[in-house]
Structure 1
Amino acid sequence: LLAKTFGCVRFVYNKMLAERRDTYEQFKGDKEALKKQKFPTPAKYKEEFAWLKEVDSLALANAQLNLQ
């Protein structure tokens, strides 16, 4: 269970980081538009990747906090 949780946290962290990088590349010339962007939460990924529901949601939420 711990290995699965750590793997899911790493997966969510990397997905969120990739989306933030893509958003930065898209809006890097416009700092105001970049500040207004909303970033996804781990719950967004649970719709696409059902196996994320098998681990503790607080662990996934902490991945978002650590990324910020």
Structure 2
Amino acid sequence: MSEKFDEIKTETKNFINQCQRVLKVSRKPTREEYINISKVTGLGICLLGAVGFAVHVPITYLKALIKP
């Protein structure tokens, strides 16, 4: 039981150390970076919506044809 606790304790310490390293390296994005990220994210959302719509419409019509 003690070995398991020590293993969990070690893994937790390693995770916290990794999180601290990431936070030290990270920084606040500039306005230009933020705008670019927003554009790419918006474009991705629109593309996923278009793909979902393109799949949904034919399936809806096929269901209507199958169930008269």
Pairwise same-fold verdict (TM > 0.5):
no
Greater helix proportion: 2
Greater relative contact order structure (CA < 8 Å, 6+ sep): 1
TM-score, with structure 2 as normaliser: 0.42
Q: Rg larger in 1 or in 2?
A: 2
TM-score, with structure 1 as normaliser: 0.42
